[in-house]
Structure 1
Amino acid sequence: MLRLMIDRLSQTSLCGRCRAWGQSLALAVLATCVSVWAPESLYAQATKPAAAVSRFEDKTLVTKDGIPLKISYFAGKKGKDTPVVILLHGKKGSRQNFNSSLAPFLNDAGYAVVTVDLRGHGETPLVPGPAVAPGATKNNAPQLKPRDYQAMIPGDLEAVKKFLYDEHMAEKLNMSKLAILGADFSTAIATAYTELDWSKIPWDDAPTVAARTPRGQDVRALVLLSPEGSIQGMNTAQSETAVRILGLPVLIGVGSKDTADKGAAKKLAEKLNPDKRDHIYLETYEGGLRGTGLLGRKLKTEDHILAFLDKYVGKSTIEWRDRRSRLER
């Protein structure tokens, strides 16, 4: 399986919308993959006690419906060429599932990273009001209703995107090089937000659509750990179809003995890739772990994620551009 992954990462061209990134990445990607799957993984080396740990800053964003959304921000070091990853936790989780593991690992590899406490999780309350005290956690997952899951998309994720827009305009990152990772229930949030992001109509500031300034179309890749086939109140089939039509690259990870999976990961991979192209990856990891449980277990999950992100986002040649309408500059 790992040899197949290496072959795919080094030999395949990019999906239809990303093909312009060019074949010039092939040698660089191959070099990355060789180092990733060396006897001692990059993640294992990066998490040794002597390794440097990236610093992050906790921030509170406010969603359009008044929720104080807690995030941690790992700033990048490449200025306006910096790619970005949003990490979303799973059931009963929080951004702390990433802050001492995957987030600093990706940050050290050159990515700006945002970890999020979705509403009703971690330090983010379920209703408008003060945020939970730092260090404390309040998990309202059992109380979440369909409308709460739905609100995470135009509420929580849009607040994060607005934050990234501000960082982009300050030339601290390139929001057009964006990937989202979701775990169990938040895989549906990730795909639904991707659909929303790509549905945004560009500013009407140029004669042709191609020349107009985009308002969205920034999510370039998805990582889905233990994807769930259905979420209360959400049309997951619609957003999955949108991802398929867009031809976006997706890495799906699942435990080989995950009793909760019930074939959902394989079904999703087949749905996203009916033409058997090479931009959809299904990785199976030994054991019954699920979601963020697949991280930090010496399964090389982190290495696979980094190699995938490097291929489709990190080494993208998409240039930074002013995202304001030309009529407002």
Structure 2
Amino acid sequence: MRRSRLLSAALVTLIAAAVTPGALPAAAQSPTPERVEITAPDGIVLVGSYYAPPANADDPARALLLMHHSGGQKEVWIDFIPVAQEAGYALVTVDLRGYGESGGETSDWQSMEADAHLWLAWLRDQPGIDPDRVSIVGSSIGGDLGLRVMVNDEALRTVVSLSPRLDVNGMTTADAMEAVAARPIFFAAGQGDALDAEATRTLFALATGDVQARLYDHGACCTTLFTLERDLAPAVIAWLDRTNK
């Protein structure tokens, strides 16, 4: 059965009052990650930070691949990492090809998609990780890549996409969404960014399965949404918990 919700800014305000998210953990409370390097088939070295399963994790643990937006790097998840760890998730946050400490070109979308598959394979192979309960949380281009990766990864549980776009220099998402329409997807964006809002509504309309979309009444995007909207991180965790049972 399809359980879908497109939440307008007004509805989000009401739901935020019903949910009790509390304050996000301070960034300083995040555990110290392990630096990880993997080498792509073309020789490019990719860098990430791995947060092992926390003490309260399932055995084996659920895990997340976090991918940042254009112009970002792996550290942009500073507000979300402690929340995910507190909820029992292991995670790896990565520098996309050409960003941060990773080599390569920032416009090489096809290779970035292949890189994401490499990171998923690496994450599933870590001790204590349940390879069947791995998800992607992506910001803008990171979420767009997540949708495209899901097309060829049937084991990927869900994609959480913040501030999606329909077309970034030829990397499209509507075709990917059509291919994964029956799979669980979570979207969030600011209505003040016309392109993000249009993409969220379009991709939501293409879904035939379990999907949720939140549109907030401002123009903020990407991981900044976690900072401005205190209900969002708990909502994402609740979604991940439900889709990673």
Global fold match (TM > 0.5) = yes
Q: 2:116 aligns with which of 137, 157, 163?
A: 157
- How many residues get paired? 233
Structure 1's 256 and 184: CA in aligned 2 closer, same or farther, altered over 3 A?
same
- Compute the TM-score of the two structures, normalised by the length of structure 2: 0.86
Q: CA deviation digits over 1:186-225, x for unaligned, max 9?
A: 2221011111112xxxxxxxxxxxxxxxxxx2x1111111
Alignment partners' CA distance in 1, 2:198 and 2:80: 26
Alignment partners' CA distance in 2, 1:285 and 1:302: 14
Residues 134-149 of structure 1 mapped to structure 2, 5 A cutoff: 141=106, 144=107, 148-149=108-109
Structure 1's 237 and 287: CA in aligned 2 closer, same or farther, altered over 3 A?
closer
Structure 1's 180 and 124: CA in aligned 2 closer, same or farther, altered over 3 A?
same
Structure 1's 108 and 79: CA in aligned 2 closer, same or farther, altered over 3 A?
same
Shift of 1:94: 0.5
Shift of 1:236: 2.7
Alignment partners' CA distance in 2, 1:283 and 1:304: 10
**Does residue 266 of structure 1 match 2:226?**
no
Shift of 1:67: 1.2
Contact 2:58 2:88 in 1 (8 A): no
Please state whether the residue corresponding to 2:135 is helix, strand or coil: strand
Contact 1:88 1:95 in 2 (8 A): yes
Q: CA deviation digits over 1:16-73, x for unaligned, max 9?
A: xxxxxxxxxxxxxxxxx97xx22xx24x152387xx4323111111112211111011
Query: Which position in structure 1 is the counterpart of 2:38?
Result: 61
Structure (1 or 2) with the larger CA radius of gyration: 1
Query: Which position in structure 1 is the counterpart of 2:5?
Result: none
Contact 2:190 2:197 in 1 (8 A): no
Q: 1:92 aligns with which of 65, 71, 94?
A: 71
Query: Which position in structure 2 is the counterpart of 1:188?
Result: 144
Alignment partners' CA distance in 1, 2:76 and 2:24: 19
Alignment partners' CA distance in 2, 1:187 and 1:72: 18
Query: Which position in structure 2 is the counterpart of 1:11?
Result: none
Shift of 1:102: 0.7
Alignment partners' CA distance in 1, 2:206 and 2:14: 20
Shift of 1:3: 8.4
User: Which one has a larger percent strand, Structure 1 or Structure 2?
Assistant: 2
Q: CA deviation digits over 1:57-114, x for unaligned, max 9?
A: 111111122111110111113364210111110010010101x321122012100111
Structure 1's 102 and 65: CA in aligned 2 closer, same or farther, altered over 3 A?
same
Structure 1's 268 and 125: CA in aligned 2 closer, same or farther, altered over 3 A?
same
Structure 1's 259 and 109: CA in aligned 2 closer, same or farther, altered over 3 A?
same
**Identity fraction in percent:** 26
Structure 1's 5 and 45: CA in aligned 2 closer, same or farther, altered over 3 A?
closer
Structure with more relative contact order (C-alpha pairs < 8 Å, separation 6 or more): 2
Query: Which position in structure 2 is the counterpart of 1:240?
Result: 177
Structure 1's 48 and 226: CA in aligned 2 closer, same or farther, altered over 3 A?
closer
Cα RMSD (Å): 2.3
Paired AA for residue 159 in structure 1: L
Structure 1's 297 and 159: CA in aligned 2 closer, same or farther, altered over 3 A?
same
Moved over 4 A (4+): 2-6
User: Which one has a larger percent helix, Structure 1 or Structure 2?
Assistant: 1
Query: Which position in structure 2 is the counterpart of 1:223?
Result: 160
Paired AA for residue 152 in structure 2: L
Please state whether the residue corresponding to 1:289 is helix, strand or coil: coil
Shift of 1:182: 1.6
Structure 1's 48 and 161: CA in aligned 2 closer, same or farther, altered over 3 A?
closer
Q: CA deviation digits over 1:234-270, x for unaligned, max 9?
A: 35333211210xx221111010211332511111101
Runs of 5+ in structure 2 lacking a partner?
Answer: 1-10
Contact 2:33 2:50 in 1 (8 A): yes
Paired AA for residue 195 in structure 2: A
